[in-house]
Structure 1
């Protein structure tokens, strides 16, 4: 294990003082320290983070640090290849990548698939990289950073689950809103019309829904849990809704919505009456450390209407909650509902296991 302070100090010695990226559970302790730094921006997606880093380098001639989970490396490929690559603009970057699905670590199926090809992908991109497991590995990475500076190239380090020393202080998370998330989800699930379908975003949303369906024996519908593909929930739901007579309820989070916000315009324009979009907004990346998404000052009701949704609602307390949910679910129009909820309070959330079975049941 290595101390997060040691990693930050190491980067500082290499004259790196700008950080940007997308929060990751493997890098939770690293992200926690960064949130108090002046020159730190949480990006909506990994491609945007790479682009922010490129802009920083163009302005300062200093090499930035861009952090992400390895699943997000795919989002970063476009600017990495078409802007920063040695054969294009030759812009040096330091990538700190949380390595989910490392061959040494037991993990979920979606992480294992990406984990197995992460190093191959970096090699294909000609990105020199080091697996950071001990302080000695930092010495090797230091040489690669110096090479990157001299030759104007990209360099990366991979960090596995459990490598970073945990902060013994309890991480208290701020609730921006008061409506209990579990209470809302329970009432919503209890009032879903028969033959409806749910597609829910990756992170806590899908796991909470699965937990509540089992806890309260709610078997009115089949659910498709997005175990990956953050930001693509609305597109999967839209694609299904356009070719099905079923009512489709898309349950998304604020971080997921913002990651690929443009997809919501497509949904607003093409969605039919059977498309219902629910945004569970807690203004945090809840499942990866509780960092802010900065979604608290967005007027989603006006935004969704401007993007083409016929009806839009905002829910922020328990008053007439069941009635509001029923009206939303039964209205004959493509509809958007923002629900301002607390962070998750459920302990030891389950994870979807038999993904092929879930897919088959959903498609029946």
Structure 2
């Protein structure tokens, strides 16, 4: 058994200063230690996949060799499969995973771990994530971290340490309370326009481009037609087009914005993606900084898969954002909402928390909309060069 400080301080020496995750009793000492060290950063995510995306955002934006660790119970690997296979693997965004081994063969545990326990190693291997047991002796920590960092630097992909029961000694917790101020009430601007009178995605994205100068702004576009149409309009070096990992643009942008307070980070979301991971609204409301702007383009459909309807017409996303702690939240069907969203200085020190707008747009996509010819790895590398992260 080791002390929490043994591992966390050894990891700090190798640049690991960012943590995100969902608690497990095996992880309690680490979480408690990190929470009480003001020089370390911890984001408590709504689910494990969001935590992976947060640390992916840190890897995308961080300077000075900063690295991140995602912590989860192995039962949460199911929630993390999508971002681990279509975000971190695809874009080569490395992170260290600490996965607890509940239901380890031969160790008595709760019935819900009876299947995940035995298949945990195979699940990691299927996702091409090399793993080894978490070090249980102090002298084993440095070699384990060295192997992890070597793999991460060589491949740009995650490495896992699988933690067995009793690996880390208890560490007490004094205080975990959030002290974020209340958000303003949501504002609405509905004209009741018919479908053919709504703004198009193209018009909305043109407004976004006008408000996001490459020198000071980064734009992260959700998977599907959102990123493809942004690429078709203007393929700029400050833009990243997500593929797969549906719903992860919010936590990805959160990690990026936290790691880079010098940049204005804009997440362009879709209604289907936002509905998939609505817990991320709460995480952004609690942790989101003032340099983060979240724009939801809502056409009430899964446009890139044939136009199947979503339930978004029944949802007030601005009310959800406001209730979750966003600094401001507006929604409506007037294109001017985009201008209002960007009307104030995103680095205004008097404003706490991120800004949100939901713009209802009409369905449909231009014929012949191209797919990006730049690969995910290339667009990631270009963005990192552009912002000085490499």
TM-score between both structures, scaled by the size of structure 2: 0.46
Structure possessing the higher relative contact order (Cα contacts under 8 Å, 6 or more residues apart): 2
